[in-house]
Amino acid sequence: MLRSPIPALLVLAACKSAPALDTTGDVSEQTFHSDLMSDDYILRVRLPPDVDTEGAYPLLIQLDPTFAGLHQFATTGGLVSKHEADGDWPDSVIVGVDYADPSTRERDYRTPDPVDPTFQSDHADLFYRVLTEEILPHLDDSLPVDPTRRLMLGHSNGGVFGWYTILRHDPSVTPPFAGVIAADAGLDEALFTYERLHAERADSLPTVIYATHALYNGAEQKITFDALEERLRGRGFPDLNATIEGLDTDHGGAVIPSYERGLDKLFSEIP
């Protein structure tokens, strides 16, 4: 079901200088070459303390791990470490998909223009294939993770890619992610087109999503979020579990509350 947004909450705004909580466990990085993209990615990996190498942990894919000074990999690692220790969240593996030049994200997160209904274009279409055909199988083979409990976290254009990942879902296969957090993403016509294309080929949308928009961005962004919520509600997808929430903060300040509240939701909704 599509859940109604709750009233906007006053949150402590994060900023670029806000220190992340300490990340526990083992943190490492590796270079991963994509044949599809003909380029290298940096995978930043966090394993929980006392990791069971034969275990099956939730896998959190963090987009934009180091972009623009927001330190999202460290932020998510700190939040997960704290809530694991408090017993609120399960022990989890975090993987940040990064670049030697973080601005390369613009190549990967941007939706094709025009939208390709066959999803065989470049930009987001190609990056989706890199994730699902190369990176995720590699992580499944090399890390103690549960493929049925994959979550994606993205902010800004990373959040746009999170919405894209949900709305391009092929109804003939299991979604690659059980849940998505899309923090303060700008919704444009392309995402509404993907939503329409999905509704034309399927009567279900099996995912859990927590999406936010920063109220300081103004009325224009709120209008698009309200319109997307109305569209999704009107579809009546029986297996869609979505919360769309306004946060009383700015663009950078949306990161921490979106991820903390979003992971609370996803971990409580996904077995």
Distance (Å, whole) CA 220 – CA 138: 40
3-state class of 164 per DSSP?
A: helix
Work out the pLDDT band at 220, boundaries 50, 70, 90: confident
| Angle, in degrees to the nearest 10, between helices 72-85 and 255-269 | 50
Report CA dihedral (157, 33, 263, 255) to the nearest 10 degrees: -40
105: its two tokens? 């994200």
Assigned token pair, 4 = 């109604």
Q: How far apart are CA 81 and CA 25, in angstroms?
A: 8
To 10 degrees, the CA torsion angle through 214, 252, 161, 239? -50
Answer positive or negative: Cα dihedral of 57, 27, 259, 222.
Answer: negative
pLDDT at position 217 is 85
CATH number assigned to the domain comprising residue 110: 3.40.50.1820
With a cut of 50, say whether residue 201 has pLDDT above it.
yes
Mean pLDDT across 196-201? 96
Q: Residue 115 to residues 5, 177, 196: CA-CA distances in angstroms?
A: 29, 22, 12
Centre a 10 Å sphere on the Cβ of residue 220 and count the other Cβ atoms it contains.
8
pLDDT at position 190 is 97
pLDDT band at 152 (very low <50, low <70, confident <90, very high): very high
Number of domains, the chain = 1
> What range does the domain containing 50 cover?
2-269
pLDDT of residue 130: 98
Q: How far apart are CA 190 and CA 207, in angstroms?
A: 20
List the beta bridge partners of residue 242: 2, 209
How far is C-alpha 88 from the chain's CA centre?
Answer: 20
- For the segment 182-192, what is each residue's pLDDT rounded down to a tens digit? 999 999 999 99
Task: Output the average pLDDT for the chain.
Answer: 92
CA distance 117 to 39: 25
Query: What pLDDT score does 18 carry?
Result: 58
Contact between 231 and 242 under an 8 Å Cβ cutoff? The reply is no
Over the stretch 1-43, which tens digit does the pLDDT of each residue have? 454 443 333 333 334 445 679 999 999 999 999 999 999 999 9
The residue-averaged pLDDT of 53-59 equals: 97
Mean pLDDT over 243-258 rounds to 95
- What was the pLDDT predicted at 218? 78
- The better pLDDT of the pair 9, 47 is held by 47
